[in-house]
Amino acid sequence: MADSKAKDDLKKRKTFEAEALPHMDALYRTALRMTKNESDAQDLVQEAYVKAYRFWDKFELGSNCRAWLFKIMTNIFINDYRSKSRSPMSVNVDDVDDNYLYGQLASLGPEDDPEKQFFAKIFDDDVKQAIEELPDDFRLVVVLSFLEGFSYQEIADIADLQLGTVKSRLHRGRKLLQRKLYDYAVRNGFIKEKTK
């Protein structure tokens, strides 16, 4: 009996290591964007992995382990870390031109998605800072979409949101980033300054 339990534990550990551990860097990157603090990000990832291991028997082998881990981590963040942090930030993004910055970037080449092209080409401190300054709700969907490449539906599942809410937050997050990154894009020659 004890021998069978030991074999089961070894099998669980090996499958967990093979399926879950390769995603640790991606989870840490996102946790860092969520918490804005290396120590808190490490704690969040560790807590997510502990919880994932504890509930590994609930994971369906062959399904999307990465999305499952992100959902666990996001739930921990929402339930624990965010409740300890400051009150939500109020933003007014209605006065930002939806398409100006990305319209300018689209003229750079025939890419289908100039937004992803932009983020792929540049990801220095200004861009990191702009993403970190987004309000939590917007930052989460932006990071999961732009940096981690999750689909709208995967983001909805991970963040436990309606699909329409994900689309809305991503749209508003884009508008906020446009505002924050406009000067950066002009300064680095990605676009020409808008003449008045």
| Domain 2-84 class in CATH | mainly alpha
Domain ranges of the chain: 2-84, 100-187
CATH 1.10.10.10 fits 100-187, yes or no: yes
Phi, psi of 122 (to 5 degrees): -130, 130
From first to last of the 196 residues of the chain, give the pLDDT tens digit: 678 888 888 888 899 999 999 999 999 999 988 888 899 999 999 999 999 999 998 898 889 999 999 999 998 988 876 566 544 444 444 544 455 444 444 444 444 555 555 555 555 667 778 888 888 889 889 889 888 889 999 999 998 999 999 999 999 998 888 888 887 777 777 777 766 5
Q: Is the pTM of this model over 0.75?
A: no
What is the number of other CB atoms lying within 10 angstroms of the CB of residue 81? 19
Q: What is the dihedral of CA 174, 178, 181, 185, to 10 degrees?
A: 120
Sequence-distant (≥ 6) Cβ neighbours of residue 32 within 8 angstroms: 38, 41
DSSP alpha helices (H): ranges in 122-162? 125-132, 136-142, 152-159
Q: What is the dihedral of CA 143, 149, 152, 158, to 10 degrees?
A: -70
Alpha carbons 37 and 41: distance in angstroms, whole number: 6
